[in-house]
């Protein structure tokens, strides 16, 4: 009987201590949690905005990538056989860069050459726009001519 009374008094002494320790641990964990949630004071250092310049495409690399010739578009061309203007040009590839770009254009059955927007294609024709799968050519006194890539082959 003496043992029984001693065991219950030991348990009754440790119960409040254990509860107080658990409560203190929970309070400390709450303080740490909310302490980490508080934002650090800003130092006032602003990050400077850097504007990256847009690089001009390398037309020779574009031509090689699209399977054409790396000869510049401004190279002299031989006299062409009389034919309709749109039948003389062949659009083989485009790189659209939103306002600028490069088209791979062949003239009169010759190997295609890379042409940047604003550059001469030949005989007064100038590449004015590259958009999606098409290119627009213009010449003084003529209506703009739109060249389209051949349709994609599914399979």
Residues 20-62: pLDDT tens digits? Answer: 999 999 999 999 998 888 776 666 565 566 666 666 777 777 7
37 within domain boundaries:
no
Q: Residue 136: which pLDDT band, with cuts at 50, 70 and 90?
A: very high
Whole-number Å distance between alpha carbons of 124 and 51: 36
Asked whether the predicted pLDDT for residue 133 surpasses 60, the reply is yes
In-domain check, residue 23 = no
- How distant, in Å, are the alpha carbons of 27, 33, 34, 94, 118 from that of 38? 17, 9, 6, 53, 56
Count of other CB atoms within 10 angstroms of residue 146 = 13
Burial of residue 127 (CB within 10 Å: 0-12, 13-18, 19+) is buried
Q: How many domains does the chain have?
A: 1
Asked if residue 12 belongs to a domain, the reply is no
What is the mean pLDDT of the segment spanning 61-84? 56
Residue 43 domain-assigned?
no
Per the domain annotation, does 106 fall within a domain?
yes
Does any domain span residue 38?
no
The domain in which residue 105 lies consists of 59-148
């Amino acid at each position: 009987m003496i043992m029984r009374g001693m065991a219950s008094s030991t348990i009754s002494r440790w119960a409040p201590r254990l509860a107080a320790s658990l409560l203190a641990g929970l309070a400390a964990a709450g303080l740490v949690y909310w302490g980490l949630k508080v934002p650090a004071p800003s130092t006032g250092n602003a990050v400077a905005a850097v504007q990256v310049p847009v690089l001009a495409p390398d037309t020779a690399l574009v031509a090689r990538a699209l399977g054409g010739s790396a000869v510049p578009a401004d190279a002299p061309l031989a006299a062409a056989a009389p034919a309709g203007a749109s039948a003389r040009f062949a659009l083989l590839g485009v790189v659209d860069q939103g306002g600028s770009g490069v088209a791979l254009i062949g003239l009169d059955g010759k190997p295609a050459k890379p042409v940047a927007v604003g550059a001469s294609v030949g005989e007064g024709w100038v590449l004015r726009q590259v958009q999606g799968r098409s290119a627009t050519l213009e010449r003084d006194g003529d209506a703009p001519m739109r060249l389209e890539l051949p349709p994609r082959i599914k399979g």
